[in-house]
Amino acid sequence: MTSPSDPRVAGRRLAQARKARGVTQQDAALHLQVSRPTLIAIEKGDRAAKPEEIVSLAALYGVGVHEIVRERVDAMDFRPHLRSAAQRLAIEPAELEGAIREFQQLAEDYKELEDLAGDPLPRDYPPVVQLGSGIRPRVLAEAAADRERSRLGLGDEPTIRLREVLEEKVGLRVFYGRLPGRIAGMYAYDDHVGGCILVNGRHPPDRARCSLIHEYGHLIVDRFKPGIDYLEAQGRKPPNEVFAEAFAIAFLLPARDVRERFCRVVDRSGDFQVADLCFLADHYRVSVEATARRLEDLALIPGGTTDHLKNESGLKVREAQQALGLDIDPEAEQKLPPRYRLLAVRAFRAAKISEGQLAKFLRCERVEAREAVLRAEEASSWEDPEGRPHSRRVDIARSMLK
């Protein structure tokens, strides 16, 4: 077992793991059969932890030894900030503790895989938007969304593969995880790992898309302030929340394109019906409710129409979509980004990580990790003119420049 060259690094990680587990210094010292001052010296890095002590403490704290000893530059610990945000939202800390800890670890793991591959994620972040200038947050959000779509070269058409766009063109790290149903997502930023977003993967894909861009809005207006978002905010919304909500809708439903499509329907049929609303929502891959509210914001339908559809008419959105033959359940995003998984497989094939480490990076058992490597090398198959099958394995590491 190797150890970080600086004992302060191992000490800091041990202290963070102890606090996350809720173990006191006294209890940890008793577990090691050392004095409390000795444990404090280990956590401060004044006294290097012995290999057997690291193994023992890692087991006590419920973390892998690899998390303590691996060579890496640690990101800022944004867990305390997220816990504080949870308390402000009146969420029980225990309800989110596992997700917060996993979010931090995923961000660090992604950066480590990049370091191993020598393939850093390029960053091209938009400027931070300052609130409080006298301009309403919704107006600022609309302008920011238009500017961002233009900057990223998205035009007015729907953007389907949002995760890949934000990763490749902006440099964000986007993960999907299991969060309590009322939580939409989390966001955080650190100079070392960059912008990170965790979206509730339990929500329907159309809802998750809105949550993803909502969190992106926070990273534009609240870049240095990690936070957590409710599915529906309680009470009066603060300006930053108003901005993020308006930014998401304006980004996903570009005003000019929405107006043109709405007017084409009305010019053609003389009306705009619930069926037309469902088709429009399906076109942009967002919820029917979000689409209706966008039409209200653009003064294309009367104000209050959305609430009437929800509360008074008893519209069953999913039933209406099903009756129209719309795809109401497109494939949900996987927890880990495709690029993350590819970097992990490459690191394993280059013998930079072990099979056990590969499984840990991929959040799966070793058998599944081996299958992931095989899938990355899946055989391509075809038939010759006589109909005879042929196949060969694809070498994903083969250079296309040589």
Enumerate residue ranges in the chain where pLDDT < 50: 1-3, 379-382
Q: Which amino acid is at 120?
A: P
Does residue 11 lie within any of the structural domains? yes
In this structure, are 214 and 142 located in the same domain? yes
Round to whole Å and give the CA distance between 19 and 33.
Answer: 19
In this structure, are 379 and 307 located in the same domain? no
In this structure, are 126 and 231 located in the same domain? yes
pLDDT given for residue 388 in this prediction? 61
What CATH number does residue 185 fall under?
1.10.10.2910
Does residue 107 lie within any of the structural domains? no
Does residue 193 lie within any of the structural domains? yes
Domain endpoint, select from 192, 221, 252: 252
pLDDT tens digits along 10-42: 888 888 788 877 889 999 999 999 999 999 999
Number of domains in the chain: 4
In this structure, are 147 and 207 located in the same domain? yes
Does residue 37 lie within any of the structural domains? yes
pLDDT given for residue 171 in this prediction? 94
- Note the pTM of the prediction, 2 decimals: 0.78
In this structure, are 21 and 64 located in the same domain? yes
In this structure, are 201 and 294 located in the same domain? no
In this structure, are 162 and 244 located in the same domain? yes
Domain that holds residue 351: 338-393
pLDDT given for residue 380 in this prediction? 46
Round to whole Å and give the CA distance between 218 and 228.
Answer: 10
In this structure, are 242 and 146 located in the same domain? yes
In this structure, are 124 and 170 located in the same domain? yes
Does residue 39 lie within any of the structural domains? yes
Does residue 97 lie within any of the structural domains? no
| Residues 11/5, Cβ–Cβ less than 8 Å | no
